[in-house]
Amino acid sequence: MYDWEDKPDLNITPLVDIMLVLLAILMVTTPAMVYQEKIVLPDGSKSSIVKKIPELEIRISKDRKVYIKKDMFLLKEFADNFILIKSKYNLKSIVYIKADESLKYKDVMQVLKSVKEAGFTKVSLETNG
């Protein structure tokens, strides 16, 4: 006679085994698949030569003297003199300001402000660190 109160046991072990095998196959084959797409890049123009904009370096020494190439200015006179000589330089050039670490913050910012007011837009403070 059959006992109606017995519940059948589900055996999911084969299902889990199959799923693990499929997962292992997927993990092994996925990195091996390579997708290639053709990309056509433009040739560009070979006739024009790009001119490099010269850089301008301004150095401030610890005795509060400002050097631009071979020119030397006192810090308090730099703002007026720089406006007078700015026509020698391209306004699009990158200006690097190097200052001695013993200088006060306001001295360096005074030079930075003078350079910005002269019309230079690409100004950077350079450090050794």
CB 97 within 8 A of CB 111: yes
Beta strand pairing call for 71-74 and 56-60:
unpaired
DSSP structure class, residue 92: T
- Structure tokens given for 34: 């390579």
Q: Whole-structure pTM over 0.75, yes or no?
A: no
* Parts of the chain with a pLDDT under 50: none
pLDDT at 54: 78
Task: Catalogue all structural domains in the chain, each as residue range(s) with its CATH number.
Answer: 56-126 (3.30.420.270)
pLDDT at 18: 94
